[in-house]
Amino acid sequence: MRDFLKIAAASAVGTLVGLFSLLLLMGLGAFGLVGVLLSSGSSEPELEIEDKSVLVFDLATDIVDGAVSDSGAIFEEAFYGGARSVSLYNALQAIEAAADDEKISGIYLKGSPQEGLATLKEVREALSQFKESGKPIWAYNTGFNERDYYITSVADNLVLAPVGLMEINGFRAETQFLGNALRKYGVGVQVLRVGRYKSAVEPFTRSESSPEDKQQTEALIGDLWQEFVQTVSNDREVSAEQVQQLADEVGLIEPEQAVELGLVDRLGFYDDVLLGLRELSGVADEEDENEIVVDLEDFPQTSLTEYAQVAARERNRNFGGPDDTVAIVYAEGEIIVGNETLPGSVTSQGLSDTLREMRKDEEVKAVVLRVNSPGGSAIASEVIADEVKLLAEEKPLIVSMGDYAASGGYMIAAPGAKILASPTTITGSIGVYGLLLNFQEIANNNGITWDVVKTAELADMETTARPQTEKELAIQQGYVDSLYERFTGIVAEGRDISLSRVGQVAQGRVWTGEDAIAADLVDELGGLEDAIALAAESAELEGDYQVKEFPRLPTFEEQLLNSILGTGTVAISQLPWNKDPLTDELLKLREDFTLLEQLNDPNNVYMRLPFTTDIE
C-alpha cells in the first residue's frame, strides 16, 4: 500500500508541479526565469529605516522554526510584495529591538496567523513586552476568529470593521474516520500498536474515537481553551466567565456588541486605521479643497521580515566579544528517513549531520534544540535521538518545544539536559504503531488475483495481496514491542526516571506542556529565548555571546528552481495567486498525499500523532 500511495502521490504532485512550471516558463521564459533566480542570490543593499516608521507585522507571515535566509527576499517580493517567512528567533528579536529603536513609532498587526498557539504565545509575550516601551500596537481585521483574536487582543488600538464578525465559539477537535469506507470497498487493515492511547491508527479502523482517545482529546483541547480564555481576559475588559458564556450562547459576535463588551476598542474601516497610523508616524495630510489627495498608505513603514534583517545585521555588527556561540538547531516537521535538508521535514541524516557539526565545533558552547514535530519514522527518530544523546554528553543541550514535540518528536527531545515547553505544546504520545493494508477483497471482486512462488514460508510477509497470518502478525508485533521498549528506555535514561514511571505516562498518551511537567516529561515552562538564556547559563557564558541558527533552509527561489529542474519540490499551496474554494480543497488533498508519501520508514513503523485530527 505504501508503494501504491507513493506512486499516486508522486504522480499527482508531479502533474501539478509540471503544469505550474510549464505555465510559469511560458509567462516568463526559461532563460528569464533562471536569470531572475540567479540574480536574486546577489548581495542586497542594506535597508534603511526612516524616522517614526511603523513596524507592519502581517500575521500571515510564516513564522518558522528554521534558519531562514534573507537572500531570497527580492524574489519573494516579486511574488508576494514582501518576504513571507521569518524564523521565530528573528521575529522575537525584531520585536524586542523595535521597542528600543527610536526610529520605530509603533506596531501594526494585520492579517491572520496560521501558527499554533505555542508559537503565537511566544510572539504575543514579545508584543506585551513591547508595549512596556510606551509605544502603541494597532490591530485591524474585517473579522476575528479565536486564533486571530488570541494574538491581536494584545493591541491597545484594536479595530474591527463595522461589517465584520467575531467568532468566539470554543475549540473543537474533529477527526475523519475511514474505517467504514475501507471495509465497504474491500480494503483490509491490520494494526500493530503499543499504547492504549496511540490513536493514530484509529481513523483507518474505526468509525468513532475510542474512549481512551476521547479522554485525552477532551483534556487537550480543554487546556488549550483555558489558555485562550485566560489570556484574552487578562488583556481585555472581559472576564473568563463572560468569554465562556459567549462561546456557549452567542458564538458569532456582531461589531457593536464587540465594542460594548470591550473585546475591541472601536469600529472602523481600513482607511480609518491608515489615518491613525499616519498620525502615529507624524505624516500630515495634504488637502485640496477639503479633500485628501495623498495615498493613505504612504507613510514611513517597514515589514517585520525587513526589520528582522536589519535587527539581525545590527546584532552581528555589534558583536565584538569572543567566539562563544549558542546554536539553535531546528527540528521542524515530519521526521523522515533521508539525507537532504528539506523545508517542513526533519531528515534522519540531515539533522544528524547538523548535530554532529555542533558537537565538533569548538566555537559552539551550548545548543538549543528547537523541536516542532509531530513525529514520523521510528528508525529516523531513533537515529536522531542517538546524535542528540552524544551531543548532550559533551555540551549543554536545552530542548525548546514548539507547537508539537510528540511521539518521534519527543523521542529526539528526551536526551536533552533540560526540556522547556509552552503550556499549549502538544507532547508525549510515547508509543509505536504500524498499519498493514491488503487489497485482496477489492481486487478479487474486480477480477484481479495473485499467485506466488517462494523459497521460504515468510518470503511474502510484506505482500498487500492478502491479510497477514497470525504468525506474521506476531513477528511484526514483536518488532513493534521492541521499538516501544527502546523508546521508553530512551525516555527513562534521558529524563532520569524509572521505566515504571515512564510506563505510567506513556501508552501513547498526549499531554499539554503544562500537564507534561507533572508527568515528568518536561522540566519547566518557557519559550525559545528562555531556552537560549538557560543554555548560555549552563555553559557559563558571561557577557557577550552570539546566537546562530542551523541548518539553513533552502530559499523559496532555490526550491522553485529545483522543482523546475526536477531536483526538488516547491510548496504549491504557497503560490501567490488567489485560489477559489475548490482549488484550495484540491491543494489540501495534495498536501495529504505528500504526507503519505513522506511515510518512508523502511519497516513501515511510525511514532506519530494522528493524521486527520484538526483542532480549531
What is the set of active-site residues?
198, 407
How far CA 591 is from CA of 79, 130, 569, in Å, comes to 21, 37, 12
How far CA 137 is from CA of 95, 278, 432, 534, in Å, comes to 11, 14, 46, 30
Residue 241 C-alpha cell reads as 466567565
**Concatenated DSSP letters of 143-173:** EE-HHHHHHHTT-SEEEEEEEEEEEE----E
Residue 283 C-alpha cell reads as 505624516
- Residue 121: name the closest of 327, 401, 515, 406 by CA: 401
Residue showing cell 521505566: 499
Are 352 and 384 in contact by the 8 Å Cβ rule? The answer is yes
- Residue 87: name the closest of 78, 79, 95 by CA: 95
Task: Show Cβ contacts of residue 167 under 8 Å, excluding neighbours closer than 6 positions.
Answer: 143, 144, 145, 146, 251, 252, 253
Q: Tell me the longest C-alpha to C-alpha distance in the chain.
A: 95
What is the distance between the alpha carbons of residues 196 and 329, in angstroms, rounded to a whole number? 33
DSSP character at residue 104: E
Are 598 and 375 in contact by the 8 Å Cβ rule? The answer is no
- Residue 426: name the closest of 591, 227, 221 by CA: 221
Three-class secondary structure of residue 51 per DSSP: coil
- Residue 320: name the closest of 604, 573, 544, 86 by CA: 544
**Concatenated DSSP letters of 310-333:** HHHHHHHHH--S-S-EEEEEEEES
Residue 177 C-alpha cell reads as 474516520
Dihedral angle of Cα 58, 301, 126, 409, to the nearest 10 degrees? 40
Secondary structure element (H or E) that encloses residue 291, with its range: strand 291-292
Are 432 and 194 in contact by the 8 Å Cβ rule? The answer is yes
What is the distance between the alpha carbons of residues 402 and 374, in angstroms, rounded to a whole number? 10
Cα torsion angle, 178, 184, 190, 194, sign? positive
CA angle 344, 347, 350 (to 5 degrees): 115
Provide the angle, in degrees to the nearest 10, between the axes of the packed helices 556-564 and 30-40: 150
CB atoms closer than 10 angstroms to residue 394: 11
